[in-house]
Chain A
Amino acid sequence: MDGLRFDKLRILVVDDNQHMRKLVVAVLQAVGVRDLFEAADGEHAWRALRDTNPDIIVLDWQMDGMTGLEFARLVRNSPRSPNVYVPIIMLTGHTHVEHVRQARDAGVNEFLAKPVTVKAILSRLVNVVEHPRPFIRTKTYFGPCRRRRALTAYAGPERRKEPTFVD
């Protein structure tokens, strides 16, 4: 069986906890990823994004200084962002549906809840490679399409139009 070529991927792992970073990096190395970069905070991650041009970012949510959510928004929306399309996998101890919504609204592609397993890490990587989501640009959002499933009852032609309140 042939499978996803992990050796072709460049991945940036951003986590302020050195142990979790070490764990994720060790797993990624073991599955064949050769070009791995690490950052312990948003500021270093921003620099690494510019210097290393990763294909995928694995990003912790809760970090000292710039949070993962703020970093994701910066990547998607800053005019200085080196790659506004880079897939972001959010690694987090948050599991509430509201947190998933917040991550999605920040432009995150995949949500990886702790505790992490190898299977879960690989399945998120496969998802971002195999099922690239279309990007959406509206007045209030830029990022991957947030409709993984057809959750809304309305599926008509104007479902993505932004509502504007008028007097």
Chain B
Amino acid sequence: MAITEKAQIFMPPISLKAKAGSASGTLTVDPEVLKSGEKAMEGLRREFSDWLAEDIATLAKTFAVFAKAPTAENAGALFRAAHDLKGQATTFEYPLIARVAASLAKLMDGMQSWEAAPLPLVAAHVDAIHVIHRDRIKDISNRIALTLAEELEGRVLKTIAQASFKQP
């Protein structure tokens, strides 16, 4: 192996430090600014459950489409809906929905292709998410929801392992 190509290293021509830096040159965040941001987030909190309900409805819709026609495109839409919930449900105060959604995303990602995800297991995830939201289970240590999440995660691991075993 020979080394032939040099890398060019340079600073970007635009300095945001010059544009948005403070007069003193210190670039800290004023605690009052942080408080304002947190207050804004707090102000949105009452909308979180509705937002989550809409995201769950999107998941259910994408699942219904996927169940009818398990194509790569429909699987992609379902995966994105699950992935959105995985990322957002904790922010929206439903960490166990995030966990179940993460399990669903993992299932789809772990198969040879997204569309190979078994429908009954996908349906079980979607149902679990519905139930957790319907019963407003925000407590991460809720025994029933936790057991359900763990059961789904276990089945996902098994399914992925079996799928890997079958692969040539």
Contacts and interface: CB of A to CB of B under 8 A. Distances in A.
Contacts of A20: 84, 87-88, 91
B19 A118 contact: no
Interface string B22-49: 1110111111011011111101100000
B158 interface: no
Given A132-B15, A164-B3, A19 B37 contact: no
B90 interface: yes
Contacts of B29: 3-4, 122-123, 126
B11 interface: yes
Interface in A103-127: 114-116, 118-119, 121-123, 126
B114 to A, nearest CB: 12
A26 B43 CA distance: 9
B16 A128 contact: yes
B12 A85 contact: yes
A130 B38 CA distance: 22
Nearest to A3: B30
Contact of A119 (B30, B34, B77): B34
A137 B8 CA distance: 5
A162 interface: yes
Interface residues of B, number: 55
Given A19-B88, A31-B36, A130-B27, A165 B12 contact: no
Contacts of A136: 7-9
Contacts of B19: 5, 8-9, 55
A158 B27 contact: no
B86 interface: yes
Contacts of B84: 17, 20, 62, 93
B4 interface: yes
A22 B44 CA distance: 9
Contacts of B33: 3, 6, 31-32, 122
Given A19-B88, A138-B5, A132 B83 contact: no
Nearest to B26: A2
Given A2-B22, A17-B55, A135 B7 contact: no
A80 interface: no
Contact of A130 (B17, B31, B51, B92): B17
A161 B41 contact: no
Contacts of A5: 19-22
B98 interface: yes
B13 interface: yes
7 contacts: A5-B19, A26-B44, A32-B33, A32-B36, A115-B91, A136-B9, A158-B3
Q: Kindly list the 5 A-B residue pairs having the minimum CB-CB distance in the complex, ordered from nearest.
A: A93-B87, A30-B40, A114-B87, A118-B37, A115-B90
